[in-house]
Amino acid sequence: MAKAKTYSQKRRFDETPEPPAAVEGDVDPGTAPPGETFVIHQHHATRLHYDLRLEMMNGDTPVLVSWAVPRNLPWTPGEVHLAVHVEDHPFDYGSFSGTIPKGQYGAGEVRIFDNGTYEVLEQEPGKVTFRLNGKRMKGVWHLFRTRKKGADTKDWLVRIREDERPAPDPLPELSPMLATATKEPFDDDKWIFEPKWDGVRALATCAVEETMLVSRNRNDITKAYPDLARLHDRVVAVDAILDGEIVAMHKGRPSFERLQSRINLQNPHDIERATKQIPVTFIVYDVLYMDGRSLLKSPLEERKDILDAAIVPADWLQVSPVVRGDGTTLFEAAHAQQLEGIVAKKLGGTYRPGRRAKDWLKIKTVMEADLVIGGWSPGEGNRSSTFGSLIVGAYEEDGLRFVGSVGTGFDQKMLEALMPRLHDLESDEMPFVVDPRKAPGGSRFGKPIRDPRWVAPELVAQVEFRELTSVGRLRAPSFKGLRPDKKPADCLFADLAATAGVDA
C-alpha cells in the first residue's frame, strides 16, 4: 500500500493561500498530547463537508489533527456521522478562511464554521471523547475508529453525548419589514443604500438540512423554487432566518416579467422545466435569526455584519451590496442600469416584522404600484375574446378607491392566463367606493369605461405609471404582472400617493 501523502505534498504553496506546515508527519489522535483550541471549517469543495480540527502536539509543535465530517457533528442523540481522518494541518490553518483556487487540492470556498476551546475527557488508541466550547458548538462528542480490518483505517464515527447549548429563543413566525415610499434620493452618513430588487419578497428559514421559503403573505413557496432548495448549505450557521428577494436575471438585470412565468406554477413537471429555462437568484439583505438567537432587536449595522460573514455566495445566492451615505449616486446608477430604484435604511434601526417603517425608504426610478383588480372591461378587435383593460384601485379608510384602468403591458399568454381567473372571481357587487363610471377622471384615453365586469378584489397587479393626476388617476399605466405574494389589504392609496410624490 502506498504511503499517504502529507499535508505539504498535496499542496503548491505558490498557488494556494493556505499556510505551509511547520512540521511533517501525522500524530496518533488517540495518544498525542492534546492542546487547547479547535476549529470547524465549512468547506465547499466538490461536495460540501465540514472539517473538525483539534489542536494536539507533534513533539514541541502544535498541529491540528483533522477529520472530514460530511454532515458536520451530530446533534441528535443516537445519530452517528462518518468522520474521515485526514492529514494533520498546521496550527495556523485554524485562522484560515478564503478560496482555494481551482485546480488545487480541495479547491473551493473555506469558511470558519466555529472555533473556540476544547478539552479531552477520554483518550485512547482509536477513541477520543472531547468537550467543545465554541460560539456554536457546545457539548460533548465521542469520536471513535470503525471496526474495520487494519488498525490504520481512516474511517471514524462521531456521536454526541451531551448537548450543552443554551435553550434557543423561540423560532418566530415572521412577516417582512416594509419600506415607506419617498420621492427623492438623498445623501446622509446615518443611512445605508442598496438596490431595490424587482422580484418576489421571501423569508428563508434555514435549518440543518433543509430550507423553507415563505412569501410576504406567509405562503410556503419552497416547492416552486427547487433551485433554492440547498440554500442552507451556503449559510455558515446552525440555523438562520434570512430576508431577501427571489429574482430572475435577464442581461444582468432582474426581470419581473421573466419571474412572472414561475410565480404561479404548481405542477412539478412545469416547475422542473421552468427551473432550467428561468433560473432564479436569492438576493439576501437581512438576517433575523441565527444560531438559536433572535436578531430583531439588533441594530441594522450589526445584522449586516453578521449576514456578510454568514453567506457563502454562489451564482444563485448573493448578498445585496450597500453603500453608506451616498444615496444620490447609487440612485443615478440604478436609473442608468434600468433598475427599479434604491432602498435607504437608517443605521441603528431594529427589524420590525410586518411594519411599514420610516427608517426604511424606497425611492423608485420609475413609478410603480401594487393595485387591486376590481373589474375588467371587454376587449375589442384581436382582444375581443379576452379583456380590454383591468379596472384597478387602492384602499383608503372607507374602502377601495378607483385609480384607473390598465390596458397595456399584456402579452397574449398573460391575457389567456388571466381571463379564467377573472371569470372565477366574477361578482355582481361593485367593489369600489365610487362607481368608476361616475368618478372624476373615470375614463381611459378620454373614453368612458363601458360595460364593466366586477370581480371580487382578490388579485393584486403590479403597475408602472408616469404620474398620479390631481384627482388620483394613473397616467399611462402599464401592467407588469400579478403579485400573489401581496395581500389586497396592503395596497394603500397613501403608498401610491407617496410613490407619486403627491398628497394623499
The three grid cell numbers given for residue 304, joined into one nine-digit string? 449586516
Question: Do 21 and 90 form a contact (C-beta atoms < 8 A)?
Answer: yes
Burial 188-201 (b: 16+ CB within 10 A, else e): eeebbbbbbbbbbb
> In angstroms, how far is the first alpha carbon of the chain from the final one?
81
Of 102, 148, 183, 196, catalytic: 196
Q: Say if strands 178-181 and 356-364 run parallel, antiparallel, or are unpaired.
A: parallel
Closest CA to 378 of 368, 387, 370: 387
User: What are the residues whose beta carbons fall under 8 Å from the beta carbon of 92, sequence distance 6 or more?
Assistant: 19, 22
Distance CA 140, CA 129 (A): 7
Distance CA 178, CA 489 (A): 14
Three-state DSSP state, 111: strand
Closest CA to 491 of 370, 391, 363: 370
Question: Do 457 and 374 form a contact (C-beta atoms < 8 A)?
Answer: yes
Distance CA 37, CA 114 (A): 11
Mark whether 251 is an active-site residue.
Answer: no
User: What are the residues whose beta carbons fall under 8 Å from the beta carbon of 413, sequence distance 6 or more?
Assistant: none
Catalytic residues: 196
